Amino acid sequence: MKNIIITGSRGLLATELTRRLLADGDCNLYLVSRSPQDIQPADHLQAIELDQLVNDKALRNLSYDALVHTAFARSFDGEDLKKSLDFLSDVLTVAKRLELKSFINISSQGVYGTKHDQSVSCDETTNLSPSDNYSIAKAFSEVMVNSGLANSNINHTNIRLASILSHKESKRFVNILVDQAKHQRDINISGGNQHFSFIDIDDASQAITAMLNYCDKKWEPVYNLGTGLSHSLHEIAIMVADIAKREYGYEININVLPTSNDSNIKLNVTRFSTDFFWHPQFSLESSVEKLFKN
């Protein structure tokens, strides 16, 4: 059985990845948490603090197939982001002391910025242009991983992840639009020509699971992960209204307010799909339908 370490145990991606890997039944999972006592026990799952990996002899002497680093503040606050980078530094220090095959750092599509032509897909060679504190910190996390593990034998990569869609992400604007429609309220959007890239949480966790089957393969230093598509805000609003009418009989009006926001982001995911034989299963419409049901 594989031995997998996951940080950020309470986060959305870590939670879904844990559920999926336990269901597959071929992994022992070690969830790194500041409060391991609060994690529900399960077969093949052990909640631990980070320093136990080196201070506990039994854990230190294990051979680990992968460490998936998902822990990161969902914040634009500089202090919170610095704490996340400090923790990553600690994780890298521990990783180099273990018998570890591979290291996956979850980064963000935000490192590319949002000022791109609608016809252009960002691939892994696109220049980085992060435009907010969170994205800048994510870009720096990639530098830390690449430099920190450069002289090690640990296979490592950074995953530039599209925005995750899940009913648990209540603050995402897609969730807000769905909530407005479910309560039969008009949908209000600013602009409408802005384009966004998403990935369903089930696809995201399945993609990382697929990667874990190739821990012995030499990885590229960075992969984009998403559907390879982008959708305009106006297109998304129409989709939400159409589903509300088709499935629930609600008539939803869409009100468009003027804005100067022209953000656009679209990911080219060919490299990931080719290297790991993975393709997304959920369209944006099917993900939105799931949001209506939760």
pLDDT score at 118: 66
Q: Where are the alpha helices (DSSP H) in 151-225?
A: 173-182, 201-211
| Rounded CA separation 4/12 (Å) | 17
| Strand, coil or helix: 168 | coil
Tell me the domains of the chain and their CATH numbers.
2-165+198-229+265-281 (3.40.50.720)
pLDDT score at 53: 96
Q: Is the pTM higher than 0.85?
A: yes
Distances (CA, A) of 204 to 20, 96, 208, 268: 11, 27, 6, 15
| Rounded CA separation 251/238 (Å) | 11
Q: What is the pLDDT along the chain (294 residues), one digit of tens a residue?
A: 999 999 998 899 999 999 999 999 899 999 999 898 888 888 999 999 999 999 999 999 999 999 999 999 988 899 999 999 999 999 999 999 999 999 999 999 999 998 766 667 999 999 999 989 999 999 999 999 999 999 999 999 999 999 999 999 988 999 999 999 999 999 999 988 999 999 999 999 999 999 999 999 999 999 999 999 999 999 999 999 999 999 999 999 999 998 877 788 999 999 999 999 999 999 999 999 999 998
| Rounded CA separation 122/265 (Å) | 7
pLDDT score at 103: 98
| Rounded CA separation 165/176 (Å) | 12
Residue 76 in tokens: 């634009």
| Rounded CA separation 165/172 (Å) | 8
| Strand, coil or helix: 249 | coil
| Rounded CA separation 273/172 (Å) | 26
DSSP string, 4-64: EEEE-TTSHHHHHHHHHHHHHT-EEEEEE-S-GGGSPPBTTEEEE-TTHHHHSHHHHTSEE
